[in-house]
Chains A and B, each alone.
Chain A
Amino acid sequence: MQKFIEESWLILVMGAVFAVLLAGVQTSLAPTITVNQAKALSEAIREVVSGTDRSEEVKIEGYDRKVYRCLGPDGNLVGFAIDAQGIGFADKIHLVVGVTVDAGKITGLKVIENVETPGLGNKIADAEWAGQYRDLDPGREIVVQKRPPKPGENEVQAITGATISSKAVTKIANEALRKVRPELVKLR
């Protein structure tokens, strides 16, 4: 035991000191980081459901991620925002999709986390590309095409050179809507 301490006292001391240092940094910065993550999410909700002033979490049967009731400045319901996640080309994709109060139309979609290929797949985070989802029908499957979408066909056009990322986003949105939409109708 004596020999052990003699040989390794420096590591033990440094380990303890660094542990305290890290705990201190973590404790002081954790609130800021949580705020950043919450801000990113609430900003996304505001973008996908216009007119949102604040949002409340709701529990949806059979769906393990969060769904939000979006309320306008006077407290009335303006839409719902659904948090969804799934696997993309590189790693997971985290997005929020908004629907109208009667769950009859998609009001917007925003990808908030992704590590897709820069310059190609990560264009799914561009408002311009994601804007295609607006006004689509959440009750039907959204289909990805490699050509401009035909009106009324519930289609979006894939990003050139990033078909897999484009399809991933659509699949994630489709699945989330499939699970959540029937329950939303009950929630109004």
Chain B
Amino acid sequence: MAEASQSNLRQFSDGIVANNPVLVQLLGMCPTLAVTNSVENALVMGAAVIFVLTMSNLITSTLRNLLKPHVRILIFTLTIATFVTIADLVLKAYVFEVSKKLGPFVPLIIVNCIIIARAEVVASRSGLGRSLADAFGCGIGFTIALCILGAIRELLGAGGITILRDLGWHWHIDPKTFEPHAWVIMIMPPGAFLTLGAVIGVVNHLRSRGAAKGGA
């Protein structure tokens, strides 16, 4: 396979930039639209997905030689469901307020296409090192994409950004001057689609320019 020569580091960085699961692969759109109404929600969702993706890839890669074709998907789903449930319990125990805000979207990580896609494409065919690099890369890429969207939507829609009130941190950006002009639609569903479309447009533009220059 052509990918065999690709280093693990490349696999990792691809997940963040060149093959970003949200902005390039266009997977996991549902949580991307739903939980990017604030940076805090985006961060916690990202952390949960990194955890689940890592555990899923780890277990799938370890067991890859035992996977019979007709039970593969079943095993992926079983693994993902278990770790999402663990993540949900951990969030409810340690960041109760945020987990209430994320609501049904944490259990919905089970059907997030990114995780099952990486299990199928990478973890079930590659060794542990490559699978873990991929998990971290895609997980971090997912989190970064969500935070970019979250920052845009929260700044324009709520007039400021507040992070991690639960854990006692508090990082506020300039709410007073901007708040009266806040564009409320940005934190509602239409704003999600508008922001996502705009960001993907910019990303595609940058990618086509990179390709035209004879880059990767």
Contacts and interface: CB of A to CB of B under 8 A. Distances in A.
A18 B78 contact: yes
B78 A25 contact: no
Interface string B7-35: 00000000000000000000000000000
A117 interface: yes
Nearest to A31: B93
B184 A10 contact: no
Contact of A119 (B67, B96, B184): B184
B187 A11 contact: no
Interface residues of A, number: 24
Given A11-B75, A161-B184, A119 B37 contact: yes
Nearest to B63: A10
B175 interface: no
A5 interface: no
B188 A22 contact: no
B78 A22 contact: no
A18 B71 CA distance: 16
A18 B77 CA distance: 12
B68 interface: yes
Contacts of A18: 78-79, 82
Interface of B: 37-38, 63, 66-68, 70-71, 74-75, 78-79, 82, 85-86, 89-90, 92-94, 96, 100-101, 103, 157-158, 184, 187-188
Given A10-B67, A11-B78, 6 more contacts: A8-B71, A14-B78, A21-B86, A33-B93, A118-B188, A119-B158
